[in-house]
Amino acid sequence: MPKIELYTYFRSSASFRVRIALNLKGIDYEPHFVHLTRDGGEQKRSEYLRLNPQGLVPTLVHDAQVFTQSLAILEYLDELCPYPPTLPKTPQDRAYVRSLAQLVACEIHPLNNLRVLNYLKDTLKQSEDLRLNWYRHWIHEGFQALEARLAKDPRTGTYCHGDSPTVADICLVPQVFNAKRFDCSLSAYPTIERIHESCMNLTAFQAAAPQKQADAE
Amino acid sequence: MPKIELYTYFRSSASFRVRIALNLKGIDYEPHFVHLTRDGGEQKRSEYLRLNPQGLVPTLVHDAQVFTQSLAILEYLDELCPYPPTLPKTPQDRAYVRSLAQLVACEIHPLNNLRVLNYLKDTLKQSEDLRLNWYRHWIHEGFQALEARLAKDPRTGTYCHGDSPTVADICLVPQVFNAKRFDCSLSAYPTIERIHESCMNLTAFQAAAPQKQADAE
pTM for the complete prediction?
A: 0.97
- CB-based contact B79 A67, cutoff 8 Å: no
Nearest to A94 among B75, B110, B141 (CB): B75
Count of CB atoms within 10 A of residue A121's CB?
Answer: 14
Q: What's the pLDDT at B53? A: 81
The answer as to whether B216 is a domain residue is: no
Q: Which residue among B30, B63, B84 closes a domain?
A: B84
Task: Name the nearest CA neighbour of A35 among A26, A21, A45.
Answer: A45
Residues A80 and A169 in one domain: no
B17 touches chain A (CB under 8 A): no
Residues A123 and A164 in one domain: yes
Q: Which residue among B84, B105, B140 closes a domain?
A: B84
Residues B16 and B96 in one domain: no
Buried-exposed string B46-81: b where 16+ CB fall within 10 A, e elsewhere = eebeebbbbbbbbbbbbeeebbbbbbbbbbbbbebb
Q: What's the pLDDT at B167? A: 98
Task: Name the nearest CA neighbour of A174 among A117, A72, A104, A98.
Answer: A104
pLDDT digits (tens, 9 = 90+) for A117-165: 999 999 999 999 999 999 999 999 999 999 999 999 999 999 999 999 9
The whole-number average pLDDT for the span A19-27 is: 98
Q: Which residue among A50, A84, A118 closes a domain?
A: A84
Q: Which residues of B touch A116 (CB under 8 A)?
A: 111
The whole-number average pLDDT for the span A86-99 is: 98
The answer as to whether A70 is a domain residue is: yes
Residues A61 and A147 in one domain: no
- CB-based contact A67 B98, cutoff 8 Å: no
Is residue A171 within 8 A of residue A101, CB to CB? The reply is yes
CATH number of B45's domain? 3.40.30.10
- CB-based contact B124 A107, cutoff 8 Å: no
A164 touches chain B (CB under 8 A): no
Residues A97 and A190 in one domain: yes
The answer as to whether A54 is a domain residue is: yes
Residues A165 and A108 in one domain: yes
Residues A110 and A69 in one domain: no
pLDDT digits (tens, 9 = 90+) for B16-43: 999 999 999 999 999 999 998 888 888 8
pLDDT digits (tens, 9 = 90+) for B83-123: 999 999 999 999 999 999 999 999 999 999 888 999 999 99
CATH number of A111's domain? 1.20.1050.10
Counting the structural domains of chain A, the total is 2
Residues B111 and B173 in one domain: yes
The whole-number average pLDDT for the span B60-65 is: 96
Q: Residue B2 gets which letter from DSSP?
A: P
* Distance from C-alpha of B93 to C-alpha of A112, rounded to nearest angstrom: 29
Residues B98 and B171 in one domain: yes
A130 touches chain B (CB under 8 A): yes
- Strand pairing partners for B33? B8
- What lies within 8 Å, CB to CB, of A82 at 6+ separation is none
The answer as to whether B212 is a domain residue is: no
Residues B32 and B126 in one domain: no
* Distance from C-alpha of A18 to C-alpha of A209, rounded to nearest angstrom: 11
Residues A97 and A180 in one domain: yes
Q: What's the pLDDT at B39? A: 83
The answer as to whether A9 is a domain residue is: yes
Higher-scoring residue by pLDDT: B132, A37: B132
Residues A49 and A106 in one domain: no
The answer as to whether A120 is a domain residue is: yes
Q: What's the pLDDT at A159? A: 98
Residue of A nearest to B107 (CA): A110
- What lies within 8 Å, CB to CB, of A164 at 6+ separation is A84, A85
Confidence of residue A13 (pLDDT cuts 50, 70, 90): very high
B106 touches chain A (CB under 8 A): yes
Structural domain boundaries, residue B100: 91-205
